[in-house]
Amino acid sequence: MTSLTGMILVKQDDGTSTGSGFIHKIRRISGDICPCHICLQNKEAKKSVYAILTVTTVLHNFDENWDVALESGVFSENWEPKNTTVRLFYDTDDEAQETFIYGYNLLETDKEINIHSDWCSVECVTHDMKLVQELEPKLNKYMELQGEIYRKSKELSLNDLVIIVGHPHGGPKMISVGSPTKVEILKEVRNYQKWCRYEYDNITCHGNSGSQIFILGQPLCGFGYWFGHPHNHSKCFKVGTKEIKGGCSSVGVEHAVETD
């Protein structure tokens, strides 16, 4: 999970803002011209072998007026691919090598459910196929372990752990451990899917926005597809302007599981 977490950097008029995101899907492409802004601007050496990596995060990393953009449906017009990069493997301050993937397309948000949620995902491009070879087994292992951990947590009746992996204050990757304090079910839809949002007592800071949230015992639905995304950290709680312990997630999708 930590290797699939990246720091999102967005160039803005007043500087560069940072957030966090999680690689949710990887697609290899060959035979087509790469759609990234670098290749599109290059009249000669266009790449034909590349990969698209889908990164889940939250919309306010790209647009601070995300709620207005969500209602109007013009959020994508405010987003420039060339302004977004994702840094991977930023684990310590003394990292000598920097690995980046590059923004290409801002994907659909949850606006169709008519519920305020700043979840979104962004497609990024890389020409580094060695990087893709390194990331693919990590993503496959993550998906495999999701099922194993869910089964074990049900056997042991463990459902009180929330783990958040992100880049607070634009620094190296950090892990925050806490417990869920509330789950809000916003809508139940097809195939026993449950759209919900969590609150938790984890410590988070600016820059954690978009961090992947791992909830022990959570029955995720449709991982890897737009309708089955997990939760991402949305915001920390505040009293006035002061940040305090605890926060809430974006909307995510779970199976509606019957309990005894």
Domain boundaries, the chain: 5-135, 157-255
Ordered DSSP codes for 153-191: HHHTT----EEEEE-GGG-S-EEEEE-EEEEEEEEEETT
Percentage of the chain beyond pLDDT 70 is: 77
Assigned token pair, 4:
């699939």
What is the structure's pLDDT at 103?
92
What is the structure's pLDDT at 207?
84
Q: What is the mean pLDDT of residues 7-23?
A: 91
CA dihedral 91, 88, 26, 148 (to 10 degrees): 10
* Span 105-162, pLDDT tens digits: 888 666 555 566 778 889 999 999 999 999 999 999 888 887 777 777 666 656 678 9
Assess whether the region 5-135 and the region 157-255 belong to the same CATH fold. yes
pTM (two decimals) = 0.87
* Span 162-216, pLDDT tens digits: 999 999 999 999 999 999 999 888 888 766 778 888 999 999 888 899 998 888 7
CATH code, residues 5-135: 2.40.10
Helix, strand or coil, per DSSP, at residue 84: strand
Q: Which amino acid is at 241?
A: T
Annotate 36-69 with b (16+ C-beta within 10 A) or e (fewer).
bbebeeeeeeebeebbbbbbbbbbbbbbeebeeb
Q: What is the CA radius of gyration of the chain?
A: 18
* Span 206-243, pLDDT tens digits: 889 999 888 877 766 555 554 566 789 998 877 666 66
151 Cβ neighbours under 8 A, 6+ residues apart:
none
Residue 22 has pLDDT above 70, yes or no: yes
Annotate 1-25 with b (16+ C-beta within 10 A) or e (fewer).
bebbbbbbbbeeeeeebbbbbbbbb
CATH code, residues 157-255: 2.40.10
Residue 76 has pLDDT above 60, yes or no: no
> What CA–CA distance (Å, rounded) separates 229 from 226?
6
Note whether 26 and 53 are within 8 A (CB): yes
What sign does the CA torsion over 28, 34, 38, 44 have?
Answer: positive
Question: Strands 119-126, 99-106: parallel, antiparallel or unpaired by DSSP?
Answer: antiparallel
